[in-house]
Structure 1
């Protein structure tokens, strides 16, 4: 039998997220890193990608267009540039996975609506905080009717690159909108902390949910099932605290990076890159 064709994937962006993403894609049995495109030739990210054996270019989106088409393009740059990137690649016939917090395209959270990814070529992964919190919040919303949701994400300074810091406003707005969409809750508050603590803390997301119709046992079962689903592609995901009363749910999840080039505290990168690789691999099945 002929060998299954690997999909050609371009990674746009050579920062913390882009380099780790290229490493993960390179280890996938279904994907090939066909290009890592940055904007500065002597950047540390492009040097590291080249050391891994991947083709690189400092031509940014222009290199992606010129060297394409690609089956999948993963945009790991910044929210302000994404609209230009989608406009440049939308006619190529491939799938664009947006790892920036723009909220554009079809919002996908694996384990909840991965099937919708096949209906669109422009996919959005919300944010690292969204990928960590929404599976749990969606499970909660299946068991009660939240009237208020508060989400506080805390990540290590070393895990927050320049684009992440520049995009904090978009991060909060996009994550809030996605939580409203997946839970049906209008009153949502999202906050982000970047911690300089030493040793660096793991990526942590604390959620508070208010509701009037909480039943503890079914709720705990649903949250455990949601966490188990996330662990199938993010092994370092775990619920570290869960308290339930008649009208309030407090739940904390932590994500520690496992394997690859990331330090353990970089769970924020781990959770969104794992989702991007999973969707890219699912595109293999869709293309057959």
Structure 2
């Protein structure tokens, strides 16, 4: 798509997630950053300004003053602030993409229900664990609806910032709701481990689904196909284990970060940011279909 057909985007939050988002926006031929907004001056905002981007410490208020020409807003702040951000943005017509576990927007996983993006105004990306596991879980559910799902996410303590730690309860609740929604399972349990180990462990998610008489060959085909769809925009995504028994399927996936900004072990940031960019580019396709991605 020619540069003049890009859509304008803004980022709320200038932490590590926000900075990595800015790198991805800069590399995208369909997106152009119009503003980076935070509630306080920090190193992330300083670095964003050093790249020539317009920045502000005025938060959502300043963003609203500059909303003309912005089609998508990425909320990379925290779950507690997100409701206020949506209250301001709802009347504007922009698409709000929520990277926090607020559970307020329409739960969206690009390879599962990404086709619905053009009709949405408020999208929630669930969580990093949800983005890693739900594509595989949804594939499993096409063969057998789970009776129960357990999700265990393990990440390096270094890759979990202040907002992540403050929102762990919301993370668990939002992910459990999304797992049940996308799989049809009546109950689910989500566990989170933050490891202080050195060297830092990779981001890893293990899902166990209790199902009736799973066909091993069918499960392998469905899971591998689902993983390939995610790998199209998350190259560091890989299924590392897949086991089937008489009443269960267990899958482990690891995500390695491949960007310049974040370390390899921070796959949790990699996958949710990649999903956010994918959603915004789907929005760009809808706004400018003549420049749709090949």
List gaps (5 residues or longer) in structure 2: 289-294
Shift of 1:161: 0.7
8 Å contact from structure 1 (residues 37, 56) kept in 2: yes
Map 1:76-91 → 2, pairs under 5 A? 76-91=76-91
Cα distance in 2 for residues equivalent to 1:31 and 1:150: 36
- Residue equivalent to 1:67: 66
Give every structure 1 segment of 4 or more consecutive aligned residues whose post-TM-superposition deviation is greater than 3 Å: 1-4
Q: Deviations over 1:238-273 (max 9, x none)?
A: 001111112121110000001331110110000000
- Residue equivalent to 2:194: 194
Q: Deviations over 1:145-198 (max 9, x none)?
A: 211110000111111111100000000000000000000001200011111111
- Residue equivalent to 2:51: 52
Map 1:105-144 → 2, pairs under 5 A? 105-144=105-144
What TM-score, normalized to structure 1?
0.97
Shift of 1:118: 1.3
Q: Deviations over 1:36-59 (max 9, x none)?
A: 111112x11111212232211111
Give the length in aligned residue pairs.
287
Cα distance in 2 for residues equivalent to 1:21 and 1:4: 21
- Residue equivalent to 1:238: 238
Cα distance in 2 for residues equivalent to 1:107 and 1:217: 30
List gaps (5 residues or longer) in structure 1: none
- Residue equivalent to 1:146: 146
8 Å contact from structure 1 (residues 106, 117) kept in 2: no
Cα distance in 2 for residues equivalent to 1:260 and 1:108: 26
Shift of 1:2: 7.3
What TM-score, normalized to structure 2?
0.95
Helix, strand or coil at the partner of 2:259: coil
Helix, strand or coil at the partner of 1:113: helix
Q: Deviations over 1:112-132 (max 9, x none)?
A: 101111111111100001000
